[in-house]
Amino acid sequence: MADMRNDHGIEIRGLSKIFGPNAHQLAPLLDQGITKSELNEKHGHVLGLKDINISMSAGCIQVIMGLSGSGKSTLIRHINRLIDPTRGEVLVGSEDVVKMSPRELREFRRHKTAMVFQKFALLPHRNVLENTVYGLEIQGVPRNRQVDAAMHWIERVGLSGFEKSYPNQLSGGMQQRVGLARALSNDAPILLMDEAFSALDPLIRVDMQTILLELQKEIRKTIVFITHDLDEALRLGDRIAILRDGEVIQQGTAQEIVLTPADDYIMSFVEHVNRGKVVQVDTIMTPLHEGQVPQGGVTIMQGTLLEDAAREMLSAGSDRLTVVSADGAPIGSLSLQKLMSAMVRSDKAA
């Protein structure tokens, strides 16, 4: 399959969206600090997004998180221009999606992006195979290549043997696997996932998250994943942006958001998070100075999560660990007491 992904990061600059007939005339009010409620009460228009600036690295999972009405689904629909912005840029590589002609936009949607929806969006009269090849049919790909690509991804998402089954014969989790296989069959460098797992039962949802993470190790696509669930965001996102009332409140890695919440709103999200599943040992370790000899104990690779490190230490009966870099050089140390304390407290100096 062709590799189109190297230059397909996404840069969103100054993106704003006002819903209503006089959106462009009212846009200057955003610079004056008008709020979502004021815009609605005084002018009868709805603020969808306000001055969004997010850099999404190629080959990474960018999670957009927020509660209902925060603007997260509106944002993802700007990337393939299902919604036109009031102002701002959506740069994919060197191209501004906002300025694309109808023909350019059609080609962009067909070849550069694929979308996975919350409600699966499968065609009920088509079986698994025929649903999976649908995007390739639209592109005019020869039938043998359609089937080869579809069968590859059907197998990769764990649906081998169900090629001739119809959507009403499948569970919700299986239907979403078909949706994922269909999106991957297009071989688009950008994968847009709008609340893709939100309609699934909790255990199936975790299973789908695992499948996505395992596939991403292979496909390395630029994935934009929308969710209202913080645990899902922390598990999936290389980076996370949290929205409220159409504005980005905080963005960063899972660790950055959990350890240094920007305000009380973010704090309310993260206060009950299991930090052991998010924070890495090198974040809280005591660095070793040049020439300093580590004190022994269990050896742990940098980047290891606290929960995994604690498990190894307890298994070995050790109360201290040495953190090593990728090349095996000792870079820090950490006591079991400090590690366990950091799993339940928010400050790095636990």
- Each residue's pLDDT expressed in tens, for the chain with a length of 350 residues: 333 344 779 999 999 999 999 999 999 999 999 999 999 999 999 999 999 999 999 999 999 999 988 999 999 999 999 999 999 999 998 899 999 999 999 999 988 999 988 777 899 999 999 999 998 998 889 999 999 999 999 999 999 999 999 999 999 889 999 999 999 998 899 999 999 898 888 888 999 999 999 999 999 999 999 999 999 999 999 999 999 999 999 999 999 999 899 999 999 888 888 889 899 999 999 998 877 777 777 899 999 999 999 999 998 988 899 999 988 889 999 988 888 888 875 444 33
> Is 276-342 assigned to CATH 3.10.580.10?
yes
Architecture label for domain 10-112+188-272: 3-Layer(aba) Sandwich (3.40)
- The predicted pLDDT at position 159 comes to 92
Token look-up 């690295």 returns 57
User: What tokens were used for 99?
Assistant: 């300025």
> How far apart, in whole angstroms, are the C-alpha atoms of residue 339 and residue 321?
10
> How far apart, in whole angstroms, are the C-alpha atoms of residue 186 and residue 20?
35
What ranges do the domains of the chain cover?
A: 10-112+188-272, 276-342
> How far apart, in whole angstroms, are the C-alpha atoms of residue 28 and residue 19?
14
- The predicted pLDDT at position 84 comes to 96
* Nearest in space to 58 (alpha carbons), one of 164, 216, 202: 216
Tally of helices (H runs) and strands (E runs) in the chain: 16, 14
- Do the two domains 10-112+188-272 and 276-342 of this chain adopt the same fold? no
- The CA distances from residue 289 to 253, 254, 286, in Å, are 27, 28, 9
- The predicted pLDDT at position 246 comes to 94
- The predicted pLDDT at position 350 comes to 35
Alpha helices in the chain (DSSP H): 23-26, 28-31, 36-43, 72-79, 102-111, 128-132, 134-139, 143-156, 172-185, 202-219, 230-236, 254-259, 264-270, 281-284, 306-316, 336-342
- The predicted pLDDT at position 345 comes to 57
Q: Are 135 and 185 in contact (CB under 8 A)?
A: yes
